[in-house]
Structure 1
Amino acid sequence: MAVASVVIPAHDEAASIGRTLRALRTGLGGHELDIVVVCNGCSDDTAEVARRADPRARVLEIAQPSKNEAVRVGNAATDVFPRVHLDADIELEGSAVLALLAPLDDAGVLATAPLRSVPRAGCSRWVRWYYDVWEALPNVESGLFGRGVVVLSREAQARVAAQAEMMNDDLGMSDAFSAAERRVVTGAVAVVRPPRTVPDLVRRRIRVATGNTQAARLGVRRPASRTRVRTLAGLAVTRPGLALRVPVFLGVYVAAALGARRAVRAGDFQTWQRDESSRT
């Protein structure tokens, strides 16, 4: 009997899905996971790679290139809880999944996520500096978003399912819960590979900025999940090593906000911009 289900939406993820599935089967110690991969609108061989990498996983294919629809289909395909929502390009070992399940037995804890490891090797200096600042932000340290993994109890899944569909689904899942209801588990780590170049970074952040605006319009985003100028100023003062990096962070932030304007004005919260450099 499976101890949890894992729903993985995958769009053109042939380069990463095998690595993701192999990691999930590591360190389970005899425990089973009900893994559902939903290949959505793929133009590559994501489904074939997934089936070869993990014959025990259920691989579904849908024509629509939509993460939201893929998640809906994946949720409908399993009734096992807790439910692990995992991005297809994230490395999370099975032992980490087990660590993420444990706090859900504590009173009041509905959702968990792992620590993130963001390997900078191969990234430009400016990308490395951006992530040095980003990872130091209090909202990034405490929120469940930006990790590529969120684990939900049955009650938590019902709460999230009641939300309107949104681009930044991990932000929606994080802000659906109070600080007391969610927990970042230090005994679990997810590998989140960053873009390698500034143009790829800006492309990814445009998507995030667009999704953040949508979440705010829907009334989902909590004030505590926002990045404020005074927070950045405080980092520059309290952590002098970040002082030269803060302007780089601000530059990327502004470029992303400007790039998101067109999509926001058009009400386009569907176009999924992503970088390819982190998948090579």
Structure 2
Amino acid sequence: MTHIAWWACWASAFLLVHMFAGYPLLMWLWARVRPRPVVRKAWLPTVSIVVAVHDGERYIRTKLANLQGLDYPPELIDIVFACDGCHDNTVTIARRSTDARLTVLDFPNRRGKAACVNDAVALTRGEVLLMTDIRQRLSPSALKELVASLADPDVGAVGGELHMENVRTGFAQGVDFYWRYEKLIRHAESLTGSTIGVSGALYAMRRSLFKPLPAGTVLDDVLIPMRVAAQGKRVVFEPKAMAWDQPSQEPEAERRRKIRTLAGNFQLIQLAPWLLSPWRNPLWFRFVSHKVLRLLAPWLIVALTLSSGFLFNRHPMYALAFCALGGGALLVGAARVRPGLGRWMPARIAVAFFYLNLFAAQALLAFARNRRLHLW
């Protein structure tokens, strides 16, 4: 048992350190030593904007006004709204628009985002596809900044930067901290070649590289970039192209969205098993380090806790690891009992870390119970 505990302790510790510190540090050093800059230049291709929406009545007027305010020649843009089984006034409001560039697709039966995106793209005419969601606000220069990166012939897709606003609670601040950390990794990945995912709120790609998505795909913003990379093109991150969203203020509000997104990673591996093949996936090391190990993180934490507890008296190092994990758990509990403590930076980071890993564990269970994920 001691031998098994030793291997479990060191293996889990190594993988946890690699995914949360080693891999980001490796990408950062690589970006410093051998960066691959994008050859950006002014370029004005025709652009088709695709928005898939389900019950977006609250946001659609603002979104249309936001898209109409983009700093880009309007005659080079067409817009397709794909309304998926909307039961509110989304379709009615969209069709009242006087913008001649807008096409509204009304699908009375709910089929999911992937099917809507496929049908919308089939109607587009632009050289470039701009993918965005209904809720987020885009900066006026976002489109120009994205296509400037696509002017580099080696670039096939480019993601924008999503900013959080109205960050009020300690939990929201922790989520915002995690998201900033995630963007630093994506930026480093981009500078060294390709990032493995983009924000679904804002990304652009060459239309010629788009392939129809499998029905029910949840993470189009990961599968599409990975397919672009598999076709020999770079996927890059452009921080000057900005979108704004609001984070969940409390864990329960974040739970459903995060579980669905994390379960989408398991679905992604089921839909595209080639992603796990180092011979077929050119970004295999990045995909495993950045995505796959994140899914294993909660179970690795459990393994490290149990094994370091078993080895507690064998060496002070194991006792230190066990106490550190226990201290983190106590900090999370204290922050939940006394919400004011949750605004202290170590506490809010610990709380966000705890819940994101809890949701990852729940996502595996949710996917195991139901392989057919919710459409939205």
Alpha-carbon distance in structure 2 between the residues aligned to 1:74 and 1:201: 29
64, 84, 93: which is aligned to 2:130? Answer: 84
SS of 1:80's equivalent in the other structure is coil
Q: Could you list the per-position Cα deviations for residues 129-186 of structure 1 after superposition, in whole angstroms to 9, with x for gaps in the alignment? A: 122123213445554433512211033214xx37675211112123334497012123
Pairwise CA RMSD = 3.0
Unaligned runs of at least 5 residues, structure 1: 233-240, 274-280
Shift in alpha-carbon separation, 1:201–1:95, aligned structure 2, 3 A: same
285, 288, 293: which is aligned to 1:223? Answer: 288
SS of 2:46's equivalent in the other structure is strand
SS of 2:127's equivalent in the other structure is coil
Give the match for residue 21 of structure 1. 64
Unaligned runs of at least 5 residues, structure 2: 1-43, 190-194, 277-286, 302-343
Alpha-carbon distance in structure 1 between the residues aligned to 2:216 and 2:203: 16
1:113-262 alignment, distance < 5 Å: 113-121=159-167, 123-137=168-182, 138-141=184-187, 142=189, 143=195, 144-158=197-211, 161=212, 166-178=217-229, 181-217=234-270, 218-219=272-273, 220=275, 222-226=287-291, 228=294, 243-262=346-365
Greater C-alpha radius of gyration: 2
Q: Could you list the per-position Cα deviations for residues 246-273 of structure 1 after superposition, in whole angstroms to 9, with x for gaps in the alignment? A: 3222221233123323431134343146
Aligned length: 263
Give the match for residue 97 of structure 1. 143
**TM superposition score normalised by structure 1:** 0.81
Shift in alpha-carbon separation, 1:165–1:175, aligned structure 2, 3 A: farther
Give the match for residue 238 of structure 1. none
Residue 103 of structure 2 is aligned to residue 38 of structure 1: no
- What stretches of structure 1 move > 6 A for 4+ residues in a row? none
Greater fraction of residues in helix:
2
SS of 2:254's equivalent in the other structure is helix
Shift in alpha-carbon separation, 1:111–1:2, aligned structure 2, 3 A: closer
Residue 374 of structure 2 is aligned to residue 271 of structure 1: yes
Alpha-carbon distance in structure 2 between the residues aligned to 1:9 and 1:102: 25
SS of 1:110's equivalent in the other structure is strand
**TM superposition score normalised by structure 2:** 0.62
Q: Could you list the per-position Cα deviations for residues 50-75 of structure 1 after superposition, in whole angstroms to 9, with x for gaps in the alignment? A: 23456331111002321111111101
Give the match for residue 9 of structure 1. 52
How far residue 211 of structure 1 moved from its aligned partner, in angstroms, is 0.1
Q: Percent identity at matched positions?
A: 22
Give the match for residue 55 of structure 1. 99
